[in-house]
C-alpha cells in the first residue's frame, strides 16, 4: 500500500460502492488468494468509465472476472467488453462467475497468452477506445505495441500496479534479485508512457499505483 492505510480506509468509506454480487466475488477472491483490483482502484476505474463512456473495452488479465464485471456496471449495455486470460483455473472461475451472474453474453472471454491474442486481434483490425491492463507486469511493454495498433484516437489505457509497492523508486540493486527483471521492465514501460509523443500520461499513487494514458496521435514504432 503506497498511501497511508487509515487514510485509504477513510476514503473508501466515502466513495466505495459496488453491487452486492461483486462484494461476494471480491470476498471469495480474497479468501482464495486471487489478486483483484483494490478498492481505491475500483472507484477510480468506475469514475473514468463514467466520464469516457467507451464503446469497446479490452481487458488484459481476467483473473476471476471481477474487473470486467465491475466495468460492465459503469458502461451502457451495448458497450463491447473483451477480456483475455491464460491460466486455466482462472478461466474456469471467470466463466462460472459470468454464468452465475448473467453476464455470459455481456463479457467475451478469450483464452490464451495475452501477447498472442493481442497480435491476433491487431491483425484483424479490432478497435478499442478503452484498455485496462492488469496482467503479467513484466510483459506490459510486449503488450503495448499491439494495444496501440488497436487504440482509437483519444482512447484510454489504464495500467494497474505500476509502482510495485513503492519498489519502483529503488535502485535495481536494492530490489530482491528475483524482482529485478520486472522492476527494470516496469521502469522502461513507465518511461515510454510518460515520454511518448503519442500518449499523455499521469501516474497516480492509487492502490499500488496506476498509470492513466490518453492516445493522442499515430504512434511511433516502439
DSSP per-residue letters across 138-152 = GGHHHHHHHHHHHEE
pTM, entire model: 0.86
Whole-number Å distance between alpha carbons of 193 and 69: 27
Contact at 8 Å (CB) between 168 and 190?
yes
Name, in order, each residue with C-beta under 8 angstroms of 157's C-beta and a sequence gap of 6 or more. Answer: 131, 133, 147, 151, 193, 199, 211, 212, 213, 214, 215
Q: Is 106 helix (H, G, I), strand (E, B) or coil?
A: coil
Q: How confident is the model at residue 1 (pLDDT cuts 50, 70, 90)?
A: very low
Predicted confidence at residue 6, as pLDDT, reads 73
Q: What is the fold of 5-215?
A: Rossmann fold (3.40.50)
pLDDT-based confidence at residue 123 (cuts at 50, 70, 90): very high
Grid cell for residue 10: 477513510
d(C-alpha 197, C-alpha 183), whole Å: 24
Q: Which residue has the higher pLDDT, 22 or 186?
A: 22
User: What does pLDDT average to over the chain?
Assistant: 86
Amino acid at each position: 500500500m503506497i498511501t497511508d492505510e487509515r487514510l485509504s480506509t477513510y476514503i473508501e468509506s466515502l466513495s466505495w460502492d459496488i453491487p452486492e454480487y461483486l462484494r461476494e466475488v471480491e470476498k471469495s477472491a480474497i479468501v482464495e488468494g486471487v489478486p483483484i483490483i483494490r478498492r481505491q482502484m475500483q472507484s477510480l476505474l468506475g469514475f473514468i468509465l463514467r466520464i469516457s463512456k467507451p464503446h469497446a473495452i479490452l481487458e488484459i488479465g481476467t483473473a476471476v472476472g471481477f474487473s470486467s464485471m465491475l466495468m460492465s456496471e459503469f458502461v451502457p449495455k451495448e458497450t463491447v467488453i473483451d477480456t483475455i486470460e491464460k491460466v486455466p483455473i482462472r478461466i474456469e472461475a471467470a466463466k462460472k462467475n459470468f454464468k452465475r451472474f448473467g453476464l455470459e453474453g455481456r463479457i467475451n472471454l478469450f483464452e490464451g497468452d495475452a501477447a498472442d491474442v493481442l497480435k491476433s486481434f491487431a491483425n484483424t483490425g479490432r478497435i478499442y477506445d478503452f484498455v485496462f491492463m492488469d496482467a503479467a507486469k513484466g510483459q506490459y511493454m510486449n503488450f503495448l505495441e499491439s494495444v496501440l495498433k488497436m487504440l482509437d484516437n483519444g482512447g484510454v489505457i489504464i495500467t494497474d500496479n505500476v509502482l510495485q509497492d513503492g519498489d519502483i523508486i529503488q535502485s535495481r540493486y536494492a530490489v530482491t534479485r528475483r524482482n529485478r527483471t520486472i522492476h527494470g521492465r516496469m521502469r522502461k514501460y513507465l518511461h515510454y508512457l510518460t515520454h511518448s509523443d503519442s500518449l499523455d500520461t499521469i501516474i497516480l499513487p492509487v492502490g499500488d499505483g496506476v498509470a492513466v494514458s490518453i492516445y493522442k496521435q499515430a504512434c511511433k514504432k516502439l
